[in-house]
Amino acid sequence: MPRQLLASGYLRVRWTACALAIPVSALAFGACATQNAALTEAPPAAEKHRSYPAKLPPQAGADGLSAQDAQIPTPAEKPRVDIDPALQAASAILDGALTSSGQRLSAWWTPLSEQPHYSELLDPERKIEYTLSTGSVGAGELLNAREFQHDGAHHSVIDRHRGRGTHYATGAMIELILDAARQVDERVAGPKLRVGNMSLRRGGSMRWSRSHTSGRDADLAFYCKDKKTGERVLAPDLLRFDATGQAIGHPNIEFDTERNWELVQALLSHPTVDIQWLFISNPLKDILLHYARSQNADADLIARASKVLHQPTDALPHDDHLHLRITCPEQDRLEGCLDYGPRWEWVDWHYDALRARSLAIAAAFESPDASTRQSALDLLERIRSPYAPVLALSQARREPSDAVRLRALEVATNIPTESGAAVVEALKFVGQSDFNLDEKAYAYRLLRRAVDPFSLDPLKDIITASDVSPAEQRLAADALAHYMDPELVPFLLTQLQTQPAGVAEKLAVLLRRITNHSEDVDWSLLGMQSDSKEREAALSRWQDWWQANQARPREEWLAEGFSTQGLASAQGQPLDLEAVDALIAMLGSAPDHIAYNANLELKRITGRWAPLEAWDNARLQKYWARWWKWWQANHPKDLLASR
């Protein structure tokens, strides 16, 4: 079986001397790497606390450490072991298991950066002295904020913003703006850069914006010129510009394309601060990119700008300012600063540093005190470590405390799975007979949300195994819920012939979602103990449908299903914005499988996020309807262009 192959294909390398068991991309090492010895050494007693408390969100169960908990024995020196051949073999076995969003296996055995001892990291009185952005840009905080001066050599805060108290940010943000404004002035002399809202002194929500809560957002006015003379003039405020670069309501002012491109170039070229977004209206983005190409600007820089310059889909078009958003600096990310959105390939997303910090926290799993182990799990969840799922699942497999094991399983499923290593650990967990079904349900939930192709065959094996209970087979069937693969149809039809009602019901959900078709069969009533004629008739109808449609692409199945709800589409043409109203209506009235696919199509058409399973159809419909109404009102030209 695949699970047996998994077990035999991995190396179990345990930090025996270091008293730390960590899966290394679902492997564990048999030797303690010498560069990690610092993780097991207690911090010097004379080390001073930092001067400002880390104001992180409270987490249930995060108790303080006792004096004994902070001390662990120093391990004896272990002989060096050459594990390169084993690592190469493991890499070959597991390379296909890792999803594209995760880190490659090699990331787990590169040298670790030095980290504080876990006793310091878990100390409830731990203090931080530097500027710290925590949480997301929409629900975050700003600690030890740095004040942005109202006036400087190359910038000034817009007059009407000065009394708002929104001129605070992280040190990285302020450094970036000052450097960029200076660079623009040096290359193309002119008036100062005008700056609007940044963040409040302690971050958090403010009345003028839904973001700007964590010190990583700033509103920058566009540079301006006098339309008649060409003279560069100081922007009096956040002025709106139309598609030609003309200031709306200010006939004598126009968009200063040259300096605004220099600003974009300076921001994207900064050596130490990375950009997540530069929100701007599409017409102004086009003006900037056209100018950059006409000036033979660096091709890589233009490619970056074409991605980062972006008109938001859930806010005003940003034709009156450039909304700058930076990524989390490394030290902030390690304390719980969160980046959402695309992962630009040129940005360091701090995976290596997070790995080192996560392993330092996970060293606490060797503490004999259950509350310490639970506090480590709480912290891994709080910083949203991408390694938390695999570390938590590995701990759950060996955790003696039922309460801490449950917490480990919660952490594993509460954080999105970014690598196949967590999928492997989940498969190993469900493959162990010493865990009850309630505990295994967490691992199956992780597998369902991961939608990793590597788990497909193991899940199918569990569903067909003769030694697995129907209750667990039902969990495995449910874990397949988001695999929209037409190649699964023959397997599903075969299993519907023999599976009991509970399992058949879950498999039938997937069958209907894949095909966007239903034969109006209630499989929860057609278990293998039910009337065989009813079952045979239902299967016969499905088999007939499959014979008639298996050669057609899934896009045609989707279109046919949507047509039953009155939505017609051109043959072979994907749905576009014109279908949005009809798709939103389906969320409230159509059968579940059609509503499910309508949500997927809305996500594809709009590029907007929406959950697959966290909300019911009524909430999904309300969410999409509210957003669509707003979008049509604020993007009429985009709507017309689609028609």
The confidence band for 526, taking pLDDT boundaries of 50, 70 and 90, is low
Q: 294-315 as b/e, with b when 16 or more CB fall inside 10 Å?
A: eeebeeeebebbeebbbbebee
Q: List, in sequence order, every beta strand (DSSP E) within 238-352.
A: 253-255, 275-279, 309-310, 322-326
Please report, rounded to a whole number, the percentage of residues in the chain having pLDDT higher than 90: 68
- What lies within 8 Å, CB to CB, of 417 at 6+ separation is 389, 423, 446, 449, 450, 452
DSSP 301: H
What is the number of structural domains in the chain?
2
User: Residue 612: its pLDDT value, please?
Assistant: 84
Q: Is the dihedral of CA 177, 183, 186, 191 positive or negative?
A: negative
Residue 105 within a domain = no
What secondary structure does DSSP assign to 381-419, as a single string?
HHTT-TTHHHHHHHHHTT---HHHHHHHHHHHHHS---S
Distance (Å, whole) CA 151 – CA 634: 34
User: Residue 79: its pLDDT value, please?
Assistant: 35
Amino acid at 267: L
More confident residue, 32 or 152: 152
User: Residue 179: its pLDDT value, please?
Assistant: 97
DSSP helix/strand/coil, 143: strand
Using the structure block, give the residue that is written with the tokens 């034709």.
319
Please provide residue 55's backbone torsions phi and psi, each rounded to the nearest 5 degrees.
-90, 70
Q: How crowded is residue 511: how many other Cβ atoms within 10 Å of its Cβ?
A: 25
Q: Is the dihedral of CA 586, 587, 591, 596 positive or negative?
A: positive
Please report, rounded to a whole number, the percentage of residues in the chain having pLDDT higher than 70: 80
Residue 380 within a domain = no
**Helix or strand holding residue 224 (H, E):** strand 224-226
Domain final residue, candidates 304, 334, 364? 334
The C-alpha angle 627, 633, 638, rounded to 5 degrees, equals 95
More confident residue, 9 or 521: 521
Flag whether pLDDT at 78 surpasses 50: no
Distance (Å, whole) CA 6 – CA 1: 9
Flag whether pLDDT at 174 surpasses 80: yes
The confidence band for 37, taking pLDDT boundaries of 50, 70 and 90, is very low
**Inter-residue contact 28 to 74 (CB < 8 Å):** no
More confident residue, 86 or 136: 136
Residue 602 within a domain = yes
Residue 151 within a domain = yes
Flag whether pLDDT at 80 surpasses 60: no
pLDDT digits (tens, 9 = 90+) for 216-235: 999 999 999 999 999 999 99
Amino acid at 562: F
User: Residue 66: its pLDDT value, please?
Assistant: 32
Alpha helices in 118-217 (DSSP H): 118-121, 171-187
More confident residue, 30 or 365: 365
**Average pLDDT value for the chain:** 82
Which of 105-114, 244-253, 626-635 has the least mean pLDDT? 105-114
What secondary structure does DSSP assign to 19-47, as a single string?
TB---SSS---SS--GGGGGGGSPPPTTP
Distance (Å, whole) CA 478 – CA 510: 8
Residue 200 within a domain = yes
The confidence band for 614, taking pLDDT boundaries of 50, 70 and 90, is confident
More confident residue, 18 or 326: 326
Residue 422 within a domain = no
pLDDT digits (tens, 9 = 90+) for 381-426: 999 999 999 999 999 999 999 999 999 999 999 998 877 889 999 9
User: Residue 531: its pLDDT value, please?
Assistant: 60
User: Residue 38: its pLDDT value, please?
Assistant: 29
**Inter-residue contact 323 to 217 (CB < 8 Å):** yes
Which domain range does residue 616 map to?
A: 562-642
Which of 77-86, 357-366, 456-465 has the least mean pLDDT? 77-86
**Inter-residue contact 72 to 42 (CB < 8 Å):** yes
**Inter-residue contact 393 to 359 (CB < 8 Å):** no
User: Residue 208: its pLDDT value, please?
Assistant: 87
Residue 254 within a domain = yes
User: Residue 145: its pLDDT value, please?
Assistant: 94
pLDDT digits (tens, 9 = 90+) for 588-606: 989 999 999 999 999 999 8
User: Residue 110: its pLDDT value, please?
Assistant: 59
Amino acid at 384: R
CATH number of the domain bearing residue 168: 3.30.1380.10
pLDDT digits (tens, 9 = 90+) for 549-570: 999 999 999 999 999 999 987 6
Distance (Å, whole) CA 80 – CA 17: 12
Domain final residue, candidates 305, 334, 363? 334
pLDDT digits (tens, 9 = 90+) for 426-484: 999 999 988 999 999 999 999 999 999 999 999 999 999 999 999 999 999 999 999 99
Residue 75 within a domain = no
Flag whether pLDDT at 584 surpasses 70: yes
Amino acid at 588: G
Give the mean pLDDT of 302-313. 93
- What lies within 8 Å, CB to CB, of 73 at 6+ separation is 19
Domain final residue, candidates 302, 334, 366? 334
Flag whether pLDDT at 15 surpasses 80: no
